[in-house]
Amino acid sequence: KGKSLYKIKPRHDSGIKAKISMKT
């Protein structure tokens, strides 16, 4: 209950995190 399981990978230049970062 309340746990959120997720995988973490190294940030990639073409990944969604980089794309979102460019927007903010």
Partner 1 sequence: AGGEGPAEPGTASGAAGGPRDALSLREILCLYNQPINEEQAWAVCFQCCGSLRAAAARRRVRSAADIRVWRDGAVTLAPAAADDDAGKLGCSHYTETEIIESLGIIIYKALDYGLKENEERELSPPLEQLIDLMANTAEADGSNDEGYEAADEGLEDEGDAKRKVSAIRSYRDVMKLCAAHLPAESEAPKHYQAVCRALFAETMELHTFLTKIK
Question: x-or-dash pattern for partner 1, window 1-24, by CB under 8 A?
Answer: xx-xxxxxxxxx--xxx-xx-xxx
Q: Count the site residues for partner 1 by CB under 8 A.
A: 19
| Size of the chain in residues | 24
Query: Shortest gap between Cβ of 3 and partner 1 (angstroms)?
Result: 8
For 1-24, give one letter per residue: b (16+ CB within 10 A) or e.
eeeeeeeeeeeeeeeeeeeeeeee
Distance in angstroms (rounded) separating the CA atoms of residues 20 and 14:
10
Query: Shortest gap between Cβ of 1 and partner 1 (angstroms)?
Result: 7
Binding site for partner 1 (CB under 8 A): 1-2, 4-12, 15-17, 19-20, 22-24
